[in-house]
């Protein structure tokens, strides 16, 4: 059983579709949080993306702001609506009435110990609030797989990656909780680049989900770091780890979160060489990118198969 928490977001959209295409995963919920754009946009976008898939999932809206700091959006990357050049006028997927944090609490209450996988690809606010309210529910989490943080440099400030910068206090709570964590940092996810060939193969499947995904993946990248190489799709790497952990390697490290209001806000301080010996997360530092992307292409083909089967 898996919960995907997100803030769509261009790469969140791809992560949602990849998970929906993976029927071996029992999706308990898709929860949303304020992040790349406001909560009203992230829940709307998540529902619209579910509409593109023949497989459905329930969507819950969560926290509209971080635990302490004001909300910091990323519209300069993801546009005013959260997904560049995309506006969904209507959605069919309903928004569940229950708050995402309340739903997570109820889900974990009824679960066996270490049975629920949490996949978080946005700010960690919903999970941080849950753990403050109900810390005893940590025992129900099998593991948290998250996209966030950086071993080296950030992308929002020189020190910090966006998801952690957006709500460092929530991240601090999460990294101190009693469950296993898998962290996919910016350094690693930036090595998985979708080029024209990959996006074209996905779009060629011809179903609504793959056409939408291929178009997003083809968008030009403004960063000179990636120009001419492809577009990083950070969030789908976290979903990918949940599907194919054999494609990833990492090391057990201690990770601490800088919650200061200065230049280091949101930095993930990682004891990469194990100097202190207090590991609290598996930090992924290698990925078999070519094989991973091939499997992603195959999954979008599965969405096309599902669409034909369910409309036959």
Instruction: Tell me how far the alpha carbon of residue 103 is from its chain's centroid.
Output: 18
Q: Is the CB of residue 280 less than 8 Å from the CB of residue 175?
A: yes
Q: Name residue 27's beta-bridge partners.
A: 2
Q: Does residue 206 come out as left (phi exceeding 0), alpha (psi in the -120 to 50 range) or beta?
A: left
Q: Where are the alpha helices (DSSP H) in 110-166?
A: 125-133, 162-166
Rounded Cα distance, 292 and 295, in Å = 5
- Residue 278: CB atoms within 10 A of its CB come to 12
3-state secondary structure of 30: strand
Paired tokens of 3: 């919960």
DSSP assigned state of 8: -
Active-site position among 5, 7, 285, 306: 7
Q: Which of 215, 194, 227, 143 is nearest to 297 (CA)?
A: 194
Rounded Cα distance, 236 and 49, in Å = 14
Q: Is the CB of residue 63 less than 8 Å from the CB of residue 33?
A: yes
Rounded Cα distance, 15 and 2, in Å = 13
3-state secondary structure of 82: coil
Q: Is 258 a catalytic residue?
A: no
159-186 b/e (C-beta count within 10 Å ≥ 16 → b): bbbbbbbbbbbbbbbbbebebebbbbbb
* Residue positions annotated with a catalytic role: 7
């Amino acid at each position: 059983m898996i919960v995907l928490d997100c803030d769509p977001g261009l790469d969140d959209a791809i992560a949602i579709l990849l998970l929906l295409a993976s029927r071996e995963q029992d999706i308990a919920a898709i929860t949303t949080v304020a992040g790349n754009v406001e909560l009203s946009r992230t829940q709307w976008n998540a529902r619209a993306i579910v509409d593109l898939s023949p497989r459905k999932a329930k969507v819950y809206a969560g926290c509209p702001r971080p635990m302490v700091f004001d909300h910091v959006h990323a519209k300069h990357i993801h546009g005013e609506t959260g997904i560049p050049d995309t506006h969904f006028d209507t959605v069919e997927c309903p928004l569940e009435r229950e708050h995402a944090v309340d739903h997570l609490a109820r889900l974990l209450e009824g679960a066996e110990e270490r049975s629920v996988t949490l996949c978080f690809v946005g700010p960690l606010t919903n999970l941080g609030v849950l753990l403050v309210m109900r810390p005893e529910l940590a025992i129900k989490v099998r593991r948290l797989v998250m996209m966030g943080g950086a071993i080296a440099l950030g992308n929002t400030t020189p020190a910090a990656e966006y998801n952690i910068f957006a709500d460092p206090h929530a991240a601090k709570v999460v990294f101190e909780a009693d469950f296993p964590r898998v962290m996919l940092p910016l350094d690693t996810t930036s090595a998985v680049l979708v080029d024209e060939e990959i996006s074209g193969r996905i779009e060629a499947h011809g179903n609504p989900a793959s056409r939408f995904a291929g178009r997003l993946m083809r968008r030009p990248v403004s960063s000179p770091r990636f120009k001419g190489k492809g577009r990083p799709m950070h969030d789908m790497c976290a979903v990918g780890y949940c599907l194919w952990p054999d494609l990833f390697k990492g090391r057990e490290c201690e990770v601490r979160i800088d919650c200061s209001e200065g230049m280091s806000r949101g930095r993930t301080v990682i004891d990469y060489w194990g100097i202190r010996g207090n590991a609290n997360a598996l930090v992924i530092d290698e990925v078999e990118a070519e094989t991973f992307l091939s499997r992603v292409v195959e999954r979008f083909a599965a969405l096309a198969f599902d669409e034909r089967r369910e409309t036959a």
